Amino acid sequence: MTSPANHVSVNGRTYRRKPNPVVVVCVDGCEPEYINEAIEAGQAPFFASLKERGTCLTAECVVPSFTNPNNLSIVTGVPPAVHGICGNFFWDPETREEVMMNDAKYLRTGTLLAAFADAGAKVAVVTAKDKLRSLLGHKLRGVCFSAEKADQVTQASHGITDALALTGMPVPSVYSAALSEFVFAAGVALLARDRPDLMYLSTTDYVQHKAAPGTPAANDFTAMLDRYMGKLDALGATVVITADHGMNAKTDALGRPNIVFLQTRLDAWYGDGATRVILPITDPYVVHHGALGSYATVYLTGTRERDEVAARIAALPGIEAVHTREAGSARFELPPDRVGDLIVVAERLSVIGTTPERHDLSGLDAPLRSHGGVSEQKVPLLANRVATDLPERRWRNFDAFDLALNHLP
């Protein structure tokens, strides 16, 4: 390895290289209150210690407050307008197909992980679900694997051959808290063994979709998180913890989901086929949320007056705001060519569905909690070092590497 430069520039930002390992952790669905309540319950001593010896900011994630747009923002340092990933699905009006966006061909810029690796840094990425792996590992010369498929790694594809042996854990179920624990256990083992310069760990929000902050299952999850963060800290890493999005109850007082079936409404108003509602939360793993989030985008395939449609949607109970493609893309920094004619955001306690028959809620064994809207935009941005001379600015979760590399001692 040649002697590395002191800085790496990527996507318009310059990052310092640091002598000690830096770990950025994205805790899926980590509403700030999960941590705060676990501290109150005495189950998070590492987090509690950060009041004295760390940094705590309340940052804003990308809207739609979904997993992929935010994970990609964190590892590129820029919003979806630049990197192109604004959901799991978009509608291709040319081919008239719903297109899944979890292939790296949809990524419009490189990651800072790949840039650091190209500059000679040792980089490792561990993610919970495999759906994120090919995006996060795009052109990355380093370690990159998922807990979900830790038993199917190859040196050529994943930069590692013994991912499963790292932890001593079996491959966890994709619907389990253990899937996230595997990520942390692997991260700690990699840090101890390989001392990567830069590591990115990203979990799944299976627990957060079911358990409210302060309830036993949530506190147990946060206690697990706390133990592993303490281990990363004890191994000498600079650790920055953030989230892809928050999480809120989406139910009425009796626990029944508040769902706006938007395609049903639009079909009743304008007829079948005149509009198409896309729910970019939809992915192959929907058992725990029924593909119900607080964000949708609407394509008008007919000749409808857009402002009139927007006003009718905005008047529906449970809808917080409707933006045109142009206004919404500007406000949320999204790629206009991958959103519909309208962007629809639901209120904090509501979600948007298409039609009742297209949502299988049979897997919801707890009252629905979900995300996607502006109401889930506030996320923690924590570090195990005291930041010096922190600028007063709108901090984003995709400033996590900037904070870690440029603002911490």
Q: Which residues bind its own copies (CB under 8 A)?
A: 30, 32-33, 35-37, 39-40, 47-48, 50-51, 56-58, 212-215, 249, 251-256, 258, 317, 347-349, 366-367, 375, 378, 380, 382, 392, 394
| Minimum distance from residue 217 beta carbon to its own copies (Å) | 10
Q: Give the tokens for residue 384.
A: 């195990």
Indicate the residue among 241 and 344 with the shorter CB distance to its own copies. 241
| Minimum distance from residue 258 beta carbon to its own copies (Å) | 6
| Minimum distance from residue 38 beta carbon to its own copies (Å) | 10
Indicate the residue among 159 and 246 with the shorter CB distance to its own copies. 246
Give 212-217 contacts, CB < 8 A, sequence gap 24+: 212/249, 212/369, 213/31, 213/33, 213/34, 213/36, 213/37, 214/33, 214/37, 214/38, 214/40, 214/41, 217/177
User: Contact 294/250 with Cβ under 8 angstroms?
Assistant: yes
| Minimum distance from residue 244 beta carbon to its own copies (Å) | 15
Indicate the residue among 283 and 347 with the shorter CB distance to its own copies. 347
| Minimum distance from residue 347 beta carbon to its own copies (Å) | 7
Indicate the residue among 168 and 317 with the shorter CB distance to its own copies. 317
HEC per residue, the chain = CCCCCCEEEECCEEEECCCCCEEEEECCCCCHHHHHHHHHCCCCHHHHHHHHHCEEEEEECCCCCCHHHHHHHHHHCCCHHHHCCCCCEEEECCCCEEEECCCHHHCCCCCHHHHHHHCCCCEEEEECCHHHHHHHCCCCCCEEEECCCHHHCCHHHHCCCCCCCCCCCCCCCCCCHHHHHHHHHHHHHHHHHHCCCEEEEECCCCCCCCCCCCCHHHHHHHHHHHHHHHHHHHCCCEEEEECCCCCEECECCCCCECEEEHHHHHHHHHCCCCEEEECCCCCCCCCCCCCCECEEEEEECCCCCHHHHHHHHHCCCCEEEEEEHHHHHHHHCCCHHHCCCEEEEECCCCEEECCHHHCCCCCCCCCCEECCCHHHCEEEEEECCCCCCCCCCCCEHHHHHHHHHHHCC
- CB atoms closer than 10 angstroms to residue 251: 19
| Minimum distance from residue 335 beta carbon to its own copies (Å) | 26
Residue type, 158: H
| Minimum distance from residue 329 beta carbon to its own copies (Å) | 22
Indicate the residue among 256 and 331 with the shorter CB distance to its own copies. 256
Indicate the residue among 18 and 378 with the shorter CB distance to its own copies. 378
| Minimum distance from residue 25 beta carbon to its own copies (Å) | 13
CA distance 345 to 367: 21
Indicate the residue among 26 and 115 with the shorter CB distance to its own copies. 26
Indicate the residue among 48 and 100 with the shorter CB distance to its own copies. 48
Indicate the residue among 120 and 318 with the shorter CB distance to its own copies. 318
| Minimum distance from residue 273 beta carbon to its own copies (Å) | 26
| Minimum distance from residue 16 beta carbon to its own copies (Å) | 25
Report which of 21, 74, 16 is spatially closest to residue 198, judged by C-alpha positions. Answer: 21
Indicate the residue among 64 and 213 with the shorter CB distance to its own copies. 213
Indicate the residue among 37 and 341 with the shorter CB distance to its own copies. 37
| Minimum distance from residue 36 beta carbon to its own copies (Å) | 4
